[in-house]
Homo-oligomer: A and B are copies of this chain.
Amino acid sequence: MDKIRFGVAYYDEYMPCERLNEDVKMMKKAGINTVRIAESAWSTYEPQEGTFDFSHVLRVMDAMEGEGMDVIIGTPTYAIPSWMEKSYPDILAETREGRGIYGPRQIMDITHPVYLFYAERVIRKLMECTAHRKCVVGFQLDNETKYYQTAGKNVQRQFVKYLREKFRDNLDAMNAEFGLNYWSNRVNAWEDFPDVRGTINGSLGAEFEKFQRSLVTKFLNWQADIVNEYRREEQFVTHNLDYEWRGYSYGIQPFVDHKEAAKCLTVAGCDIYHPSQDELTGTEIAFGGDIVRCLKQDNYLVLETAAQGFPCWTPYKGQLRLQAYSHLASGACGIEYWHWHSIHNACETYWKGLLSHDFAENATYLESCRIGKEFAGLQEHLLGLKKENEAAVLVSNEALTALNWFGIEADAGGSKPGGVDYNDVFRWIYDALYRMNVECDIIWPDEQNLLKYKIIFTPALYAASDELLNRLNEYVKQGGTLVSTFKTGFVNEHVKVSYQVQPRILRECMGVRYHQFAFPKNVGLAGKIIEGVRNREAKAFMELLIPEGARTLAVYEHDAWKEYAAVTKNRFGDGNGYYIGCMTDSELLGKILEDALQAAGVGREVTEEFPVIVRKGVNGLGRRLWYYLNYSDGEQNAVYVGKDGCDILTGNSVREKEGLMIPAWDLRIVEEENFWD
């Protein structure tokens, strides 16, 4: 990117009155340089089948171009016009609950040829009238694509063909690998393949979800190919990948393989929504950014994030600006608020954009003006931030899906509502690192170059192939430090529980085994490493570890389980294996991680902890940039640990070890004088 993109989603189609010129004027005042348009209004652009009207798109492009502003064009395919469903009701995805009723977005079958036929045509028509425009800097494919639980006969037929290929038509192999003999689910002829929506077999169910995720990849690739026919080389192709949604961006996306899906993009993009007000911690901005940055190991666009958002998120003074810089601190090269104006009808009127429904200036809008001005002035320092992290967290869609089938806290009542799941374990690890100011990369199971990290974490890597586990073993042997939690390696890539003694292949590098596990009730942890920790409760799940060479860092405090280890550390080859057998409070986890980080030799020069968050990297000028972010409503004093540099927000010089005062919900950014010195 040649500039920090600061922008909004803009919907001329939704306006209750003529606003365009006034809006552009207000955007200019706010320093907005890029608007995203067009992804939501197919029924406006193609009012009747084959009749097109892109006048809204054209007039917005004209207006933006006139003011030197840039435009991102979104393909309008995530919400279909009613005429299409009326003529071809089959295009609505058939799910476990049957077919939906027209109305909501994202309820079509993304594999249906009728939908694809119309989608392709409208994309081409849109590209024809936008791709050549000067203001158009890039394209967003569709919008927050998922597979929408599509599982109709056509999709299942594809799935069976996929299985036949996977198992080379060998039904015995499939039955054995998936364990279909159980409860008489064995399939003895391909034509007897039952409706997979009813299956109680986790292996088959998880495989189907994997197949469904591949449909998303395929769909985005297909759109990218169409867009690529039209776009200029300098125009980017992106998509707003998003995260597990729990009212905000919570964790790994269950319905998309981000790594695969991002391959067709020239710039990775994402949506990040997060709690605000007293709950603003920056964690979601950090993990969301770390994921999307690592997808293509490059800077990325935040295509949607809240300005005011829900009433519970109306930002306090300073928060909008703090958030904006937090994105950049993770490696973002642009931020687009969703959305410019608040919407006057339909289902999201409670959601506030940068402007309220009244289009008037308000406190949040006024803060955006400050951000825009600063970004413009500091652009060359802020752009192109690159990171070289020593730590990585390995995440896995397969593990996440498998743990949805076999809930960590599942008992006779099935998965415990509100119980711990994959993303909770991911966040448990990630959040602890974040609060300790250990920056990390996110890696996926296909990562071959593990040794570029000094330490790797595998939170609940439940499903893993032998090959991956062998690779992790080898990583330790060659000097890496591996920190694995309970539920790592339990099943293979087909969600078949291993009949090796657990933790299976990692038993070697971890020097520990277990045969049994339980839910902890009134179980504490004890060990020298966690002395002084207030809450030493074992939580959620506990494996009864038996060291085989590993050193016990903590044992269980409970009459029945006191002979078992809870946390162990093992020297294996040139590296270290840490195994954490249960969930704990984050303070306790911090002690273990600290030990592991030191064992791994990870640099721990930053002594601050949350609420002061330190993020760093090397900017486009080749200089190291240090962000000191204060996520609290009180002033914080921190110690600057970089080399002598300059506070780019004030222009003042900052010496190594100098104290940095950071006001409430504010930040300092120090650029080292010369990185290469």
Contacts and interface: CB of A to CB of B under 8 A. Distances in A.
A162 to B, nearest CB: 18
Interface stretch (A2-10, A74-82, A368-376): A74-82
Contacts of A362: 515-516
Interface string A99-130: 01111110000000000000000000000000
Given A103-B194, A347-B202, A357 B498 contact: yes
A85 interface: yes
Contacts of A189: 48, 83
B16 A194 contact: no
A387 interface: no
Interface in A159-183: 176, 178-183
A428 interface: no
A166 to B, nearest CB: 16
A47 B346 contact: no
A651 interface: no
A43 B188 contact: yes
Contacts of A101: 96, 195, 197-198
Contacts of A181: 11, 13-14, 41, 43-44
Nearest to A275: B412
A203 interface: yes
A541 B188 contact: no
B178 A247 contact: no
Contact of A195 (B102, B198, B201, B273): B102
A202 B499 contact: no
A532 interface: no
A105 B201 CA distance: 11
A81 B175 CA distance: 13
A345 B518 contact: no
A494 to B, nearest CB: 8
Nearest to A104: B200
B103 A185 contact: yes
A251 to B, nearest CB: 15
Interface in A322-360: 342-350, 352, 356-360
Contacts of A43: 180-181, 184-188
Interface in A400-458: 405-407, 410-413
A210 to B, nearest CB: 16
A201 B406 contact: no
A178 B364 CA distance: 28
B184 A344 contact: no
A185 B346 contact: yes
A194 B86 contact: yes
Give chain A's interface secondary structure class: loop
A16 B179 contact: yes
A478 interface: no
Contacts of A42: 184
B44 A184 contact: yes
A312 B413 CA distance: 12
Contacts of A633: 559
Nearest to A105: B183
Contact of A516 (B186, B198, B363): B363
Interface in A79-100: 79-83, 85-86, 96, 100
A677 interface: no
Interface residues of A, number: 112
Nearest to A517: B311
A234 to B, nearest CB: 30
Contact of A194 (B85, B344, B405): B85
B81 A188 contact: yes
Interface in A487-542: 491, 495-502, 515-519, 521-522, 541
Contacts of A407: 350
B17 A184 contact: no
Contacts of A102: 194-195, 198
A560 B317 contact: yes
Residue of A86, A247, A495, A498 with highest tally of chain B CB at under 10 A = A86
Residue of A199, A245, A342 with highest tally of chain B CB at under 10 A = A199
A191 interface: yes
A278 interface: yes
A277 interface: yes
Interface string A290-315: 00000000000000000010111010
A597 to B, nearest CB: 31
A40 B345 contact: no
Contacts of A201: 103, 345-347
Contact of A14 (B182, B203, B358): B182
A407 B312 CA distance: 13
B200 A497 contact: no
A193 interface: yes
A459 to B, nearest CB: 19
A675 interface: no
A54 interface: no
12 contacts: A16-B496, A79-B184, A81-B184, A82-B192, A85-B194, A101-B197, A179-B343, A179-B345, A310-B411, A344-B499, A357-B499, A559-B633
Given A101-B198, A278-B521, 11 more contacts: A11-B181, A48-B188, A85-B194, A86-B194, A103-B194, A182-B346, A200-B346, A200-B347, A314-B518, A347-B405, A350-B407
Query: What 6 pairs between A and B have smallest CB-CB spacing?
Result: A179-B345, A101-B198, A103-B198, A247-B412, A79-B184, A47-B188
Interface of A: 11, 13-14, 16-17, 40-44, 47-48, 76, 79-83, 85-86, 96, 100-105, 176, 178-189, 191-195, 197-203, 245-248, 273, 277-278, 308, 310-312, 314, 316-317, 342-350, 352, 356-360, 362-364, 405-407, 410-413, 491, 495-502, 515-519, 521-522, 541, 544, 559-560, 633
